[in-house]
Amino acid sequence: MPDPIEILVLPGDGIGPEITPVVEAVLRAVDRRFGLGLRLTRMEVGLAAHAVHGSTLPDAVIAAAEAADGVVLGPAEMTSYPPREEGGVSVPGTLRKRLDLYANIRPARSRAGLPQPPAPMDLVIVRENTEGFYADRNMFAGIAEFMPTEEVALSVRRITAHASRRIARVAFEMARARRRRVTVVQKKHVLQLTDGLFVREVEAAAAGFPDVMLESVTVDAMAAALYRHPDRFDIVLTTNMFGDILSNLTAEMSGGLGLSAALNAGDRHAAANAGHGSAPDIAGQDKANPCSLVLSSAMLLEWIGRRRGRVEFAAAAGAIEAAVDALLASPATRTADLGGALGTRAFGAALVQRLGTAEERAA
């Protein structure tokens, strides 16, 4: 009997406590069907953790995340957190840094039955996840924003050769398993040194993948091209903030933020963490679409299976994708954000039923 695969589930804020139970139920369903040997543990982060422990991200959670085989992380309502010195730390930002989750992988594709983009889309945004313009986490110590006077505010964008090189490698390796095309997105005629360095490292990495085509597009042109010709793109490789923004565009083009699957991955750790936030406008109303975090968790299973050489994890991930597609094909089995009639819980129940073992589905 192999060791259990430890999955740490962190519900987070807003809609997090509504969508994570769906993820847990889905993981249990594929665990039964594919014999994965998962062991799920739940811990609090965010405002619930702050109320009890005085920190949105207690040290015990970081230790548990480091020890786990994978993390499922719900959204964080950062804008409601107390100041950092009073325990309000960015949960996703700090976990990305502590677990060195340097690659943010955000796939987006058109799905049958949903509103379609102008051309069929099946692409993956590969976003550098540890530096760039994210001033609250891009320095070793302190924050990369300051105000020399009351009337002047400055932000420092950090780009390193090391971080650029390793995210480029992830993009080219992924491209090899797909359509062998990488588009690097930049603004290097303006951000001459920082994006200049990023593109220099991407081009150097490209030399090791002569079978993969590399093209370079500026970020503003890319926003338009993604919308008009999404079929032209396969792997979209870019820096932290450009990737954050463009991936919301592609998520919306695929149907909505409720489908924004994402994996934060490093060499040793990975966390499923959807591309959207805590959606305070619909929290507590059984309206949230859990697909984003469910599909993110499928990506996590695939990542774990690849590291451990266990093909049944990829099969489980594929079954989750197929079950989601089957439900999304009809408005009767969608959540309200996609024009459907089901609440979060009812959608979760339908998904679990579809994913059950053959005996369970026949019952």
Side-chain half-sphere exposure of 5, counting CA atoms within 13 A? 23
Give me the residue whose beta carbon is nearest to ligand NAD.
277
Residues 164 and 351: their CA atoms lie apart, in Å, by 38
Amino acid letter, residue 108: A
Question: Quick one: which of 17, 10, 31 has its CA closest to 345?
Answer: 17
- Return the beta strands (E) in 181-246 as ranges: 181-186, 213-218, 235-238
Single out the residue of 62, 64, 191, 257 in contact with ligand NAD (rule: CB under 6 A): 257
Q: How far apart are CA 209 and CA 267, in angstroms?
A: 20
How far apart are CB 229 and ligand NAD at their closest, in Å?
Answer: 25
- Long-range pairs for 59-68: beta carbons < 8 A, 24 or more residues apart: 61/8, 61/10, 62/94, 62/95, 62/98, 64/8, 65/8, 65/10, 65/95, 65/98, 65/99, 65/269, 65/271, 66/98, 66/99, 66/269, 67/6, 68/6, 68/7, 68/8, 68/41
Site string for ligand NAD, 73-112 (x = CB under 6 A): --xxxxxx-----------x--------------------
Among 94, 278, 296, 333, binds ligand NAD (CB under 6 A): 278
Residue with smaller CB distance to ligand NAD, 186 or 335? 335
Residue 258 binds to ligand NAD (criterion: CB under 6 A): yes
User: How far apart (Å, rounded) are the C-alpha atoms in residues 328 and 332?
Assistant: 9
Binding ligand NAD (rule: CB under 6 A), the pick from 288, 301, 323, 342 is 288
- Residue closer to ligand NAD (CB basis): 161 or 245: 245
Based on the shown chain and the rule CB under 6 A, indicate whether residue 55 belongs to the binding site for ligand NAD: no
Closer CB to ligand NAD, 191 or 257, in the complex: 257
Q: Does 48 bind ligand NAD (CB under 6 A)?
A: no
Work out how close the CB of 268 gets to ligand NAD at its nearest, in angstroms, rounded to a whole number.
Answer: 21
Q: Does residue number 135 form part of the binding site for ligand NAD (CB under 6 A)?
A: no
Question: Which tokens sit at 43?
Answer: 């811990």
130 belongs to the binding site for ligand NAD (CB under 6 A): no
- The one-letter code for the residue type at 129 is N
Which helix (H) or strand (E) covers residue 354, if one does?
A: helix 344-355
CA dihedral sign, ordered 316, 292, 263, 9: negative
Residue 46, SS3?
coil
**Using CB under 6 A, which residues numbered 317 to 336 contact ligand NAD?**
none
> Exposed/middle/buried for 251, CB within 10 Å: 0-12, 13-18, 19+?
buried
Residue 44 phi, psi dihedral angles, 5° rounding: -90, 140
- Cβ proximity to ligand NAD, 48 vs 257, nearer residue: 257
**Would you say 208 or 284 has its CB closer to ligand NAD?**
284
Give the interface segment with ligand NAD, choosing from 166-174, 175-183, 221-229, 275-283 (CB under 6 A).
275-283
Interacting residue with ligand NAD among 104, 186, 247, 292 (CB under 6 A): 292
Is the Cβ–Cβ distance between 175 and 122 less than 8 Å? no
Single residue of 280, 318, 343, 356 touching ligand NAD by CB under 6 A: 280
- For ligand NAD, the closer of residues 184 and 298 by Cβ is 298
Give the contact letters, 211-250, x = binds to ligand NAD (CB under 6 A), - = no: ----------------------------------------
Count the residues of the shown chain that bind ligand NAD, applying the rule CB under 6 A: 22
Between CA 175 and CA 191 the distance in angstroms is 26
| Closest separation in Å from C-beta 277 to ligand NAD | 2
Please identify which residue in 337, 350, 352, 356 interacts with ligand NAD, judged by CB under 6 A. 337
Binding site for ligand NAD (CB under 6 A): 15, 75-80, 92, 257-258, 273, 276-282, 288-289, 292, 337
